[in-house]
Amino acid sequence: MSGPVVLITGATRGIGAAAAVELARRGAEVAIVGREPERVAATAAEARAAGGGAAVHEHVADLMRPAEVRRLAAEVLDAHPRIDVLANNAGAMFTSREVTADGFERTFALNHLAPFLLTALLRERLAASGGRVVTTASDAHESADLDLDDLQWERRPFRAMRVYGTTKLMNILFTRELARRAPELTATCFHPGVVRTGFGKNDGLLYRVALTVAGPFLRSPAKGARSLVWLALDPSAAPSGSYVIDQKVRDPSAAGRDAILAEALWERTESLAATYAT
């Protein structure tokens, strides 16, 4: 039997790239998703060179745009008759509030709305193989300030780490609610640790300097990717709905365990996604 088919977003930097290479090395058929064609090609070449022998595929999409998420999903469904794992790994922290051409705050659009929509569009294909959805969360969720009436920080002061942490709480709540609504799938999320990546360097000199100085003390991307690879490939990995740190199931914050909040967030997000149905 051939290896599992793993679609991984945000696969051209940091833990996404490290995970893509390690998954390929272990014999998985990897479909790499990134925003820049050159980086996608470079990561794919590295994954092919890892020696696992399975095919490596390349997909380019800007996941901040719902139309691009839908185009990617259609392309993936056409290219891959089977999808065993969707790794929702793409994410970023932006240090100022700006909106996309669709009117979404960038952090919310990329970190929460994109994985929600992509998972919905691929759910049937994933279910056909009893698939897994693995989402990259963070312990930054512990500082979240989730207001269901202000999901995109239109009325509150924009504080980059608080906004980022709130989207990571959304990832955890999404995982919890997906596990409830889609028992045919295994939905998990994980905290990778603080990793040496391009995270936080999207804009803002202060953040870039701080992260550069801290670099030697941060985890390697390969170590940060371990839980992702484990959750994607190990049949005895964590049960559906779990939040994982270092390959162990942990309790998220009280908000991350709130089933009512998870359901309400799902319904709000579903309504937003439906606004951009085409």
Q: How far apart are CA 170 and CA 164, in angstroms?
A: 10
164, 207, 243, 276: which is the annotated catalytic residue?
A: 164
164 catalytic residue (yes or no): yes
Catalytic residues: 164
